[in-house]
Amino acid sequence: MTKKPIEKVEKSILTEKKLLFHKDRIKEFKEGGATFPIAFDIDLTNLCNHRCPNCWGSNDKTREDGGADCTHQDFERLKKLIPEIKKLGARSIIYSGGGEPTLYPHFAEILRYTKEQGLDTAVVTNGSVFNEEIIEAMVDCCTWIRISLDADGPEIYKIAHGMPSESFFTVVNNIKHLIGRKKSKQKEITVSTCFLIGPKTWKGAYGAAKLSRELGVDYIRIRPYFQLPGNDKTKIEVDKTLKVLEKCKELETENFKISYPTYRVMWMDDKKRIRQYKKCYLPHFLTYIAPDGNLYPCCAMKNDTSKSMGNIKDKLFNDVWYDENRKKISDKINLGECPNPCNYENHIKFLWDLIESDKSVDDYCDEKGLKLPEQKGIHKNFL
């Protein structure tokens, strides 16, 4: 089998060109300076049962065993919010955490409700607390599910998740169970694993990819930790990592892909970190709601309440969204405080080009020969 170049594989799975499915919104923003978000990232809870040492969503104060700062999304508010945003034009919701989303007391119910309301739904989970109700709801409702595996066995799992051997085996069994239900119900959902590649865990990437293939997931996403300014402890060696990733690619088959953002690996080398945009427009298209109801321009700002654009607990989403304060905060983002590179680097560059161009969105696309991506499983309503 001929091997596809890395960039091509990366783009085939999580391409920024998906934004072209939402040209209406980009045009609206370009012409009028405002639009409604396409996608929502909602943290159901900051509570977590795991102890990943470098987690940016949960910490010692939000652990399952008595953390003082545990906060859940207000269920009644959430049930009003979902139809409200659907009516205004939202197209998808990712329930990804903060902490562990499956620990939210109404997790299965909220997945079913989101689907009933006509929004595409996805989940990012550590995969440790599945039960029948959770698995059924995910298989019935999600477009995609991503499980943070982060290891090839108990040894690396302890480093990555701070958890004992049993936890690793529980997660592996839960993935088997999930895939089994997906198959028996003949659902077209995408199930993937992911792996955070760090200085102490990189050796597990190949084994994790192999295990993921054996488990029958559709792909594994391997990526470095976010590099927040001043934090170098999760930095990886570029050459060594690229070699491991190349080796992982040998595991690809028709039904199993390896996905990794090459630029996020390359940019671990400080000299290669070059931002090709001056402003981030993404928060106008993708927004983030923390468990306490605060709305943030992006998930990287969720631990800083000074970046809150308003709170939806006692207000209609529409009122917070079209408030001048929300726009002001989005416009004032200091890129120097953002993770470099950002998870959405390519999306941001693409939006920058489309919005800053002198040409209309359609003319720009025609000039560049840009067409809608056609890959199977593109999940167009998720950015």
Ligand X SMILES: C[S@@+](CC[C@H](N)C(=O)[O-])C[C@H]1O[C@@H](n2cnc3c(N)ncnc32)[C@H](O)[C@@H]1O
For ligand SF4, the binding residues (CB under 6 A) are 48, 50, 52, 55, 57-58, 97, 99-100, 126, 148, 161
Partner from ligand SF4, ligand X, none contacting 225, C-beta within 5 to 8 A by type: ligand X
Question: If binding is defined by CB under 6 A, does position 148 make contact with ligand X?
Answer: yes
Among 3, 5, 33, 54, binds ligand X (CB under 6 A): 54
Q: In terms of Cα–Cα distance, which of 372, 364, 350 is closest to 380?
A: 372
Site for ligand X in 76-95 (CB under 6 A): none
Report the residue number whose CB is nearest to ligand X: 97
What φ, ψ does residue 286 adopt, rounded to 5°?
A: -135, 125
Q: How far apart are CA 92 and CA 383, in angstroms?
A: 9
How many other CB atoms sit within 10 Å of the CB of residue 355?
17
Q: How far apart are CA 179 and CA 333, in angstroms?
A: 41
Q: 3-class SS at 207?
A: helix
Q: What DSSP assignment string belongs to 337-376?
A: GS-SS-TTHHHHHHHHHHHHSSS-HHHHHHHHT------T
- Asked whether 126 and 110 are in contact (CB, 8 A), the reply is no
Q: 3-class SS at 176?
A: helix
Q: How far is the CB of 289 from ligand X (least distance, A)?
A: 14
Q: How far apart are CA 344 and CA 338, in angstroms?
A: 11
Residues contacting residue 368 through CB under 8 Å, at least 6 positions apart: none
Question: Bridge partners of 195?
Answer: 222
Q: How far is the CB of 88 from ligand SF4 (least distance, A)?
A: 29
User: 100 or 152: whose CB is closer to ligand SF4?
Assistant: 100
Q: How far is the CB of 102 from ligand X (least distance, A)?
A: 8
Q: How far is the CB of 97 from ligand X (least distance, A)?
A: 2
Partner from ligand X, ligand SF4, none contacting 191, C-beta within 5 to 8 A by type: none
Site for ligand X in 161-200 (CB under 6 A): 194, 196
Among 16, 100, 152, 345, binds ligand X (CB under 6 A): 100
Site for ligand X in 310-339 (CB under 6 A): none
User: 26 or 124: whose CB is closer to ligand SF4?
Assistant: 124
Question: If binding is defined by CB under 6 A, does position 57 make contact with ligand X?
Answer: yes
Burial of 5 (0-12, 13-18, 19+ CB in 10 A): exposed
User: 339 or 361: whose CB is closer to ligand X?
Assistant: 339
Contact positions vs ligand X (CB under 6 A): 48, 54-57, 96-97, 99-100, 124-126, 148, 194, 196, 225-226
